[in-house]
Each structure stands twice: as C-alpha cells, then as structure tokens.
Structure 1
Amino acid sequence: MSISEAESVVMEVLWRAAPRTAEDILAEVGPQQGWQEGTVKSLLNRLLKKKAVRAEKDGRRYLYSPRLTRGQYVSQESKGLLDRLFEGRVAPLVAHFSEQHKLSRKDVADLKKLLEELDDEQS
C-alpha cells in the first residue's frame, strides 16, 4: 500500500488519537496545510479505498480510525527506501548519511550500541 505525503499527515492525526471526524482532522492540520474540508474528505476517501482507515457511522457523521498501524507504515516505507536507493542494504544507507555529515555524535553512539546488542544476540 502506497500512502502519499498528504495522506500520511491525516494518518499521523489518527495515530495520535482515534476515532476522529473529518472536522477534527481539519481543525488539527487544516490551517498549517492550507486545507479545506473537501481536501480532508478526499484524503480520507483515498485512505478508505486503500484500506488504511476504517469509517464508522455516528449519526450524520463518520468516525475514522486507522487500520494500518504506524509501525506497519514505517516498516513499509523504510523497506521501500532501502530497496529503491540502497539495494535493500542498511550499510550503504548509513554510509550515505555519514558521508553527508548527517550523523551526530549521539547517532554514532546509538548505532554502536545497537550493533553491539545485535552482535550479542547472534553470539
């Protein structure tokens, strides 16, 4: 399932708190995104078709909840990035960030700790 950048903004709202109405979503992200009610409803309809969200009738309105978890989305997106740009390998991704000076000292320390933990698990 491919989720656009605009759709991911709606999903982030739903991951923080659900169920939510289209009006709730509009109130939360509409002003900074420059979106009107029609835009939010269009995005919700696209997400419904993709089965990323579900809708439950509540009187004259619908309550939307995510079907796709944030963890599933992050896994999907990160795998897609690795596959498209780095032949599915993590090491070239980390090398790219280190070459571009995008890794802080804390990032490097965290990576070292993670590698030690992975090494311990495999021993």
Structure 2
Amino acid sequence: MAKLPKISESEWEVMKVIWDNNPCSANYVIENLEEKMDWKPKTIKTLISRLVKKEVLAFKVEGRCYNYYPLLKKEDCIKEESRSFLHKVFNGVAKDMVLNFIEDHNLTDEDIEDLKKVLEKRK
C-alpha cells in the first residue's frame, strides 16, 4: 500500500462525517461539526480544502453544490494511523501497546473474552 497522507485530528473529524455520509455537501459537514466542535464555517471549509489538496477527498459539482466523497477507505486510514501511533509511542512493539491498554483500562468480562478469542485465533 502506498504511504497515505497525514491527516490531522481536525481533518479526522471532517472525514468521519464524510465517511459516514458520502457524498455530502460542505454545508452538511458544517451542520454536523459547527456546534459539536465549536468551529466556524470558514474553518470547516478550510479543512475540506486541505483534504482535497492532500487527495483524501474529491468532489462532484451538482448545480451550485459541491458534493464531497472520500478517496481513501476509512479502514486504510485507521491502519496507517495505528501503525504511526505504534511506532511513535511504543517503538513499534505491539505487545507493549496492548499490555498498556489492558492494564490501564477497566475491561468488562465480555471485553476479556473477546480479547481471548482474538489471541486464540492468532496462535
């Protein structure tokens, strides 16, 4: 897989809206993020423009409306962010990351069973 562009935390918020509702207009994104993030419409439009420049988003012009859609799959971006986080914080050692999360979070019995199943499959 080719290296994916770096997506900032703010851009991730925009992408979440578009991944869940694609294609959608800038106004739709603004309506969904304006209050939640306390951002101005101009800020949101700037983030959309950045994502278009990074070739993460594209758009179709329909009348006077620009409808944006993702060029990258959400799953691919999550994997890339996970790899980046793993290398940056845990020097690429997955076991250290997993142990840290397990020790620092309250896991339900169901969570523990799910983890056991995943680990058993990986054996």
Verify same fold: TM over 0.5. yes
Partner of 1:32: 36
Deviations 1:19-56 (CA, angstroms, capped at 9, x unpaired): 11110111112111112221111000000011110011
Partner of 2:99: 95
Structure 1 gaps of 5+ residues are none
Partner of 1:41: 45
Q: Distance in 1 between matches of 2:111 and 2:6?
A: 29
Give the structure-1-normalised TM-score: 0.89
Q: Distance in 1 between matches of 2:101 and 2:109?
A: 13
Q: Secondary structure of 2:12's partner?
A: helix
Structure 2 gaps of 5+ residues are none
- % identical equivalent positions: 34
Instruction: Work out which of the residue numbers 54, 57, 66 in structure 1 matches 2:58.
Output: 54
Partner of 2:25: 21
Shift of residue 90, structure 1, vs aligned partner: 1.4
**Residues matched between the structures, number:** 119
Name whichever of 41-50 and 53-62 sits farther off.
53-62
Partner of 2:89: 85
Shift of residue 66, structure 1, vs aligned partner: 0.6
RMSD: 1.3
Give the structure-2-normalised TM-score: 0.89
Q: Distance in 1 between matches of 2:109 and 2:85?
A: 24
Shift of residue 68, structure 1, vs aligned partner: 1.2
Q: Secondary structure of 2:117's partner?
A: helix
Residue 102 of structure 2 corresponds to residue 72 of structure 1: no
